Amino acid sequence: MRLFKVAVGNKVITNLQNRLCVFSPINNKVFGVIPKIESSKELNLIFQNAKKHFYEFQKTSFQYRKKILLNFVELLKQKKEDLVSILIWEIAKNKKLALEEIERTINYIEDTIDEYKNIIKSNNRVIDESIHHIKGKQGNFSLQPLGVVLAITPFNYPLNLLIAKIVPALISGNVVVFKPSTQGACIAAYISTLLYKAGFSNGEISCVIGKGSEIGDTLIENHNIDMISFTGSTKVGIHIAKKQPLIPMVLELGGKDAAIVLEDVNIKKVVKEIIKGSFTYNGQRCTSIKRVFVDNKIKKEFLDEMNFQLKFLTIGSAAKGNYDITELIDKEAVIHNLKLLEDAFYHGAKSAQKVKIVGNNILKPIVLFNVSDNAKIIKEEQFGPVLPIMFFDTIEEAIKMTNSSKFGLQASIFTKKIDLAFEIANRLEVVTVNINKSSSRSPDIFPFGGIKHSGKGLQGIRESILSMNRIKGIIENS
């Protein structure tokens, strides 16, 4: 068991009188213990202090904020091994994926610093009499930070998605209160102490530890919040939007990304890519491929190849090696997937694989076919290593099936006919379509977001910075 400290405003808290215990999915035992927030009074004070400090922090220079962020990058590099170990034990991410998460996060910070400079240049504008119909006015428009940003982050990228909210906020001169999910709270607390050590030690950041069910509403209702960036479930996203209808918000919610496979593809290559897109980190990504639609003309070859290649996925504990399939985040996640499987089989689905749990919380990957439209797996997000494959006769049908989902995050199209792929892409009700690759948020510099039940607003680097700033206009009249 490991004890974590947490940075809240201008203090690092070590007192474990009120604490949150985080269980490891690897052995279901307590992995980490962190000081937690108990009362609404404490929480309100955190926001009050954050707002107070914002008025000071917003006056700091870009160079000052950049220097602290670069100190933070150095600390991330120094602590890489420790970060990897926390990711393995707290969320059962294998070492290779954990290292990738850290690397992409470092790139994210460096790219954000560069992009902020460009954004400021292109958004600070003077509009005056050089425009023929403007008389006696000079409008000075510039970007200004919003104030207190509340970041709420999920378990699956507890480092990258945290930084992708905190860093655009801080580089712009906002202050941040962040609340990680319980699974992911250890790494968030650890990161808060690194940010503090790097120089954000005067009240710029506050990490709030606690169960969403206990402090969630007090947290999101606070009147000192100026912006919310949330990644998590659609249910919670809608709840937040109802509680704070007027403040700017970016919501990254669920997904049910489809892959459409046309008949002209290299089946071997496409199956390999879909397996990667679907089963990386056990399918626990909002952008995992969660439905596959294949042209009926290649049904048999596609299924045979899928069942063949599935056997090569390695299965084992995240603590023991770089296995493709590791522990799901908790027992509830296993149960959720088992229920979806039971329901799919009840509605007539077939599979060449057997349902099997290995060790603790590890569900063997399963591909389903003959899946009825009435099965829950068609509509609900599985967030696990279970993949339904459906078939179509016409492209119209494939488009209709893809758009039938309430989610609208990303989709993939596999074909050699690029013009046709563009035509289909333009008709899919999602934000991003990937041609001949599986869905993905990365590279992080790309704009990323969802429509329908997948969210609102955009993340990315430029988009996240813009979402955390507003235009201020000061007009001189002569």
Whether the ω angle into residue 154 lies within 30 degrees of 0, i.e. cis, is: no
**Which residue from 65, 441, 452, 453 is in contact with ligand G3H, where contact means CB under 6 A?**
441
User: In angstroms, how far is CA 135 from the centroid of its own chain?
Assistant: 48
285 binds ligand G3H (CB under 6 A): yes
CB of 40 to ligand G3H, least distance (A): 30
179 sits near ligand G3H (criterion: CB under 6 A):
no
Question: Count residues contacting ligand G3H (CB under 6 A)?
Answer: 8
Residue (122 or 442) nearer to ligand G3H, CB: 442
Q: Which stretch binds ligand G3H (CB under 6 A): 24-32, 135-143, 353-361, 437-445?
A: 437-445
Q: Which one among 396, 416, 442, 473 touches ligand G3H, defined by CB under 6 A?
A: 442
Interaction of residue 105 with ligand G3H, rule CB under 6 A: no
CB of 285 or CB of 462, closer to ligand G3H: 285
Cβ closer to ligand G3H: 156 or 206? Answer: 156
Q: In this complex, which beta carbon is closest to ligand G3H, that of residue 251 or of residue 286? A: 286
User: What is the DSSP secondary-structure string of 83-120?
Assistant: HHHHHHHHH---HHHHHHHHHHHHHHHHHHHHHHHHHH
Closest approach, Cβ 392 to ligand G3H, in A, equals 25
Rank residues 49 and 234 by Cβ distance to ligand G3H and give the closer one.
Answer: 234
CB of 157 to ligand G3H, least distance (A): 6
* DSSP per-residue letters across 195-228: HHHHT--SSSEEE--S-HHHHHHHHHH-TT--EE
Kindly indicate which of the ranges 24-32, 131-139, 178-186, 282-290 contains the residues binding ligand G3H, using the contact rule CB under 6 A.
282-290
Residue choice 287, 317, 464, 467 for contact with ligand G3H (CB under 6 A): 287
The answer to whether 440 contacts ligand G3H (rule: CB under 6 A) is yes
- 157 near ligand G3H (CB under 6 A): yes
Q: How far apart are CA 193 and CA 12, in angstroms?
A: 7
Identify which range of 197-205, 262-270, 283-291, 374-382 contacts ligand G3H by CB under 6 A. Answer: 283-291
Q: Does 93 interact with ligand G3H (rule: CB under 6 A)?
A: no
53 is an interface residue for ligand G3H by CB under 6 A:
no
Residue 336 C-beta: closest distance to ligand G3H, Å: 16
Look at residue 170 and give its three-state secondary structure. Answer: helix
Instruction: Identify whether the C-beta of residue 190 lies closer than 8 Å to the C-beta of residue 72.
Output: no
Residue number with CB closer to ligand G3H (65 or 285) = 285
- Is there binding between residue 165 and ligand G3H (CB under 6 A)? no
Residue 286 contacts ligand G3H per CB under 6 A: yes
Q: Which is nearer to ligand G3H, 5 or 285 (CB)?
A: 285
DSSP state of 377: G
Q: Which of 49, 156, 174, 405 binds ligand G3H (CB under 6 A)?
A: 156
**Among candidate residues 476, 430, 421, 423, the one with its CA nearest the CA of residue 454:** 430
Nearest to 203, CA basis, from 53, 378, 331:
53
Among all residues, which ones are annotated catalytic?
252, 286
At its nearest, how many Å lie between ligand G3H and the CB of residue 442?
Answer: 4
- Which residues of this protein are in contact with ligand G3H, per CB under 6 A? 156-157, 285-287, 440-442
